[in-house]
Structure 1
Amino acid sequence: MSDASGWSAYRPSKTLWIWSIVGASALTMAVGFTWGGWTTSGKARVMEEIAVRNARAELVADMCVQKFIASSDAEAKLEALKAKSSWERDDFIQDGGWTTIAGIKDTVPNAAETCAHRLVDMKNLASPNVPPVTDS
């Protein structure tokens, strides 16, 4: 066989080159956005907003638990909280003022629900799983 036969002699046309590049680019993007973890800037902004909202709720819930434990007659209030139905507990927490934070006018979404869930799950009020919070 001579060198002029087979793959070494193959010369693709410009059209084939262009379509090969377009196809490879499309395949790369499809794989990147589905399995590669790529994201658009719009989706990244939404993910950032969700992360910020969840972080705020976690922070306020930690402070809420500390305020609840420090409140007078916390054991009786915890029993009253546990006696409430699951959809009434966040209202009980908000009405008690435990999710109110100085300098924040609006309520933080999901904070009261998270706080109520943590309080109901506690076995002993004397040993919360959150670090102490001080108002400064």
Structure 2
Amino acid sequence: MNIKESIKPLAWGAAGGAVAAIAIGFAWGGWVTGATAGKMQEASAASAVVAAFMPLCVASAEQQPDQLVLLKAESTWSRDDFVVKAGWVNNVTEQYRQEVADACATAAVNGMKSD
């Protein structure tokens, strides 16, 4: 019996199984690379910051009803800048300020009762 001949199918089977396991793991198993995991973590942190600070921003906006009327008159594209200039997101880190301002503007405008 030749040992080389009996090991060859075993080696090919192990290599094929490893490739199949990797392909299945990444395609359906939910495996991700380190870079993708980092991006997912950043997105999760950003959404947590928005969820935490947006109610505070809306409460600040509701304390200034005259500013809410002006906010509603602003175009959709410039509402987040209005919120930043109004100072309603001053307590938010610069990194997340625009995202919180955008969510705050949307919530404040949608929360207003129409006249």
Give TM-score scaled by structure 1 length: 0.71
More helix by share: 2
Give the corresponding residue for 1:50.
43
Question: More deviation in 84-93 or 33-42?
Answer: 33-42
Query: Cα RMSD over matched residues?
Result: 1.8
Give the corresponding residue for 1:29.
22
Is it true that 1:85 corresponds to 2:78 in the alignment? Answer: no
Following the alignment from structure 1 to structure 2, what is the Cα–Cα distance between the partners of residues 16 and 98? 68
Following the alignment from structure 2 to structure 1, what is the Cα–Cα distance between the partners of residues 46 and 88? 18
* Count of residues paired in the alignment: 108
Rate the CA distance shift 1:85–1:66 in 2: closer, same or farther, 3 A.
Answer: same
Gaps of 5+ in 1: 1-11, 125-136
Give TM-score scaled by structure 2 length: 0.83
Between the two proteins, what is the percent identity of the paired residues? 31
Q: Amino acid of the residue matched to residue 83 of structure 1?
A: A
Bigger-Rg structure (1/2):
1
Structure number with greater CO (CA < 8 Å, separation at least 6) is 1
Q: 1:106 aligns with which of 94, 101, 110?
A: 94
